[in-house]
Structure 1
Amino acid sequence: MEHLVLIDGHHLMYRAYWAIPRTLKTSGGEQVNTVFGMASMLLNILSTEEPDSLLLCFDEGEETFRHQENETYKEGRAETPDDFYDQIPRVIELIDAFGIHHVSDAKYEADDLICTYAKAGEKNGMKVTIVSGDRDLLQLASEKVTIVIPHKGYQQAEYLGPKGVEEKFGVRPDQVASYKGLCGDQSDNLPGVLGIGPKTAAELIQKYESLDGIFKSLEGIRPSVREKLERDKEQAYFCERMAELVCDIPLPFKMKELEVGELPTEEIAEFFREMEFSLLLKRLQSLMQTPFGKKLFEATEDLVVCSSTKKDQLSLFS
Structure 2
Amino acid sequence: MEKQRLLIVDGMALLFRSFFATSVFNQFFYNERGIPTNAVSGLVKHLEAAIRHFQPSHISICWDTPSRTFRHDLYEEYKGNRSAPPEEMVPQFDLAQSVTDQLGFYNIKVERYEADDCIGALASMYRGQSEVHIVTGDKDLLQLLHDGVEVHLLQKGVGSYDRWTKARFEDEMGLSPEQWAEVKAFMGDPSDGYPGVKGIGEKTAIKIVATYGSIQAVLDNIEQLTPSWRKKIEADQKQLLLSFELAKINCDVPLTCSLDELNWQFNHEQWRKTLMDHDIRGLRALLAQIEKEEYAG
Mapped to 2, the partners of 1:228 and 1:212 lie a distance apart of 15
Please, which moves more after superposition, 115-124 or 246-255? 246-255
CA deviation vs aligned residue, 1:200-245 (integer Å, no higher than 9, x gap) = 1111111111112211222221111111111212221111111111
Q: 2:156 aligns with which of 147, 152, 155?
A: 152
Whether 1:269 and 2:272 are equivalent positions in the alignment is yes
Whether 1:286 and 2:289 are equivalent positions in the alignment is yes
Number of equivalences: 292
**2:83 — aligned with what?**
78
Mapped to 2, the partners of 1:224 and 1:44 lie a distance apart of 48
Q: Is the 8 A contact 1:47 1:287 kept in 2?
A: no
SS of the residue aligned with 1:187?
coil
SS of the residue aligned with 2:169?
helix
Please, which moves more after superposition, 276-285 or 148-157? 276-285
Paired AA for residue 30 in structure 1: I
Alpha carbons of structure 1 residues 188 and 27: separation in structure 2 relative to 1, 3 Å: closer
Alpha carbons of structure 1 residues 274 and 130: separation in structure 2 relative to 1, 3 Å: same
Whether 1:208 and 2:212 are equivalent positions in the alignment is yes
Calculate percent identity across the aligned residue pairs: 29
Deviation at 1:170, TM superposition (A): 5.3
Mapped to 1, the partners of 2:253 and 2:36 lie a distance apart of 36
**For 1:127-276, what aligned pairs fall within 5 Å after superposition?**
127-166=131-170, 171-261=175-265, 263-276=266-279
Alpha carbons of structure 1 residues 86 and 133: separation in structure 2 relative to 1, 3 Å: same
CA deviation vs aligned residue, 1:50-72 (integer Å, no higher than 9, x gap) = 11100001011110111011101
Paired AA for residue 246 in structure 2: M
SS of the residue aligned with 1:87?
helix
Whether 1:43 and 2:48 are equivalent positions in the alignment is yes
**1:59 — aligned with what?**
64
Paired AA for residue 280 in structure 1: L
CA deviation vs aligned residue, 1:240-273 (integer Å, no higher than 9, x gap) = 1111111122223211110113x33223112322
Alpha carbons of structure 1 residues 278 and 66: separation in structure 2 relative to 1, 3 Å: closer
Alpha carbons of structure 1 residues 266 and 155: separation in structure 2 relative to 1, 3 Å: closer
CA deviation vs aligned residue, 1:2-55 (integer Å, no higher than 9, x gap) = 100111111111101101234232463432111110111111011111111000
SS of the residue aligned with 1:147?
strand
Structure of higher CA gyration radius = 1
**For 1:292-303, what aligned pairs fall within 5 Å after superposition?**
293=295, 295=296
Q: 1:25 aligns with which of 10, 23, 29?
A: 29
Alpha carbons of structure 1 residues 123 and 155: separation in structure 2 relative to 1, 3 Å: closer
Paired AA for residue 227 in structure 2: P
Q: Is the 8 A contact 2:64 2:114 kept in 1?
A: yes
Alpha carbons of structure 1 residues 52 and 217: separation in structure 2 relative to 1, 3 Å: same
**1:13 — aligned with what?**
15
Q: Is the 8 A contact 2:268 2:290 kept in 1?
A: no
Alpha carbons of structure 1 residues 168 and 287: separation in structure 2 relative to 1, 3 Å: farther
Mapped to 1, the partners of 2:59 and 2:139 lie a distance apart of 21
SS of the residue aligned with 2:249?
coil
Q: Is the 8 A contact 1:269 1:281 kept in 2?
A: no
SS of the residue aligned with 2:283?
helix
CA deviation vs aligned residue, 1:68-87 (integer Å, no higher than 9, x gap) = 11101111123211211111
Alpha carbons of structure 1 residues 80 and 166: separation in structure 2 relative to 1, 3 Å: farther
Alpha carbons of structure 1 residues 251 and 223: separation in structure 2 relative to 1, 3 Å: same
Instruction: Give structure 1 regions of 4+ aligned residues with deviation exceeding 4 angstroms.
Output: 166-170, 275-279
Whether 1:114 and 2:110 are equivalent positions in the alignment is no
> Which has the bigger relative contact order, CA under 8 A and spacing at least 6?
2
Paired AA for residue 245 in structure 1: I
TM-score, with normalisation over the residues of structure 1? 0.85
Is there any run of 5+ residues in structure 2 with no aligned partner, and where? none
Alpha carbons of structure 1 residues 275 and 168: separation in structure 2 relative to 1, 3 Å: farther
Mapped to 2, the partners of 1:16 and 1:272 lie a distance apart of 16
Q: Is the 8 A contact 2:128 2:148 kept in 1?
A: no
Paired AA for residue 10 in structure 2: D
Mapped to 2, the partners of 1:155 and 1:43 lie a distance apart of 9
